[in-house]
Amino acid sequence: MNLDQLHGAVPAFDESAAARAQARWDGIAKPVGSLGLLEQAVVTLAGAQGTDQPAIDKRAVLVLCADNGVTAQGVASTPPEITAVMAEFIANKRSSVCIMAKQAGAESIAVDMGMFRRVDAKGLLDRRSASGTADMTLGPAMTREQALAAMETGIGLVKSCKDEGYQILATGEMGIGNTTTSSAVSSVLLGKSAEEMTGVGAGLDEAGLNRKVAAIKTAIERNRPEQSDPIDVLAKLGGFDIAGMAGIYLGGALYRVPVIVDGFISATAALVAARIWPEARKGMLFSHVSAEPASRAVLAALDAKPLIHAEMRLGEGTGAVALLPLLDMALRVYYYLMTFADIGM
The predicted-structure confidence for 314-328, as pLDDT tens digits, reads as follows: 999 999 999 999 999
- Same domain membership, residue 142 and residue 45: no
Q: Going by C-beta distance under 8 Å and a sequence separation of 6 or more, which residues neighbour residue 168?
A: 45, 56, 59, 257, 258, 259, 260, 324, 327
Q: Give the DSSP H/E element, type plus range, for residue 53.
A: none
**For range 298-309, the mean pLDDT:** 97
pLDDT for 287 equals 98
- Same domain membership, residue 173 and residue 42: no
197 within a domain of the structure (yes/no): yes
Count of domains in the chain? 2
- Same domain membership, residue 291 and residue 143: yes
Ramachandran region of residue 67, left (φ > 0), alpha (ψ -120 to 50) or beta? beta
Q: In 156-283, where do the E strands start and end?
A: 168-174, 259-261
Say how far apart CA 90 and CA 99 lie, in whole Å. 10
Catalytic residues: 316
- Same domain membership, residue 134 and residue 77: yes
- Same domain membership, residue 268 and residue 296: yes
The predicted-structure confidence for 86-107, as pLDDT tens digits, reads as follows: 999 999 999 999 999 999 999 9
User: In which domain, by residue range, is 39 found?
Assistant: 4-53+332-336
- Same domain membership, residue 173 and residue 30: no
Q: Pairing relation of β-strands 259-261 and 168-174?
A: parallel
Say how far apart CA 89 and CA 29 lie, in whole Å. 46
344 within a domain of the structure (yes/no): no
Q: Contact, 174 vs 89, CB < 8 A?
A: no
pLDDT for 344 equals 76
Say how far apart CA 332 and CA 281 lie, in whole Å. 25
CATH number at 200 reads 3.40.50.10210
**For range 51-73, the mean pLDDT:** 98
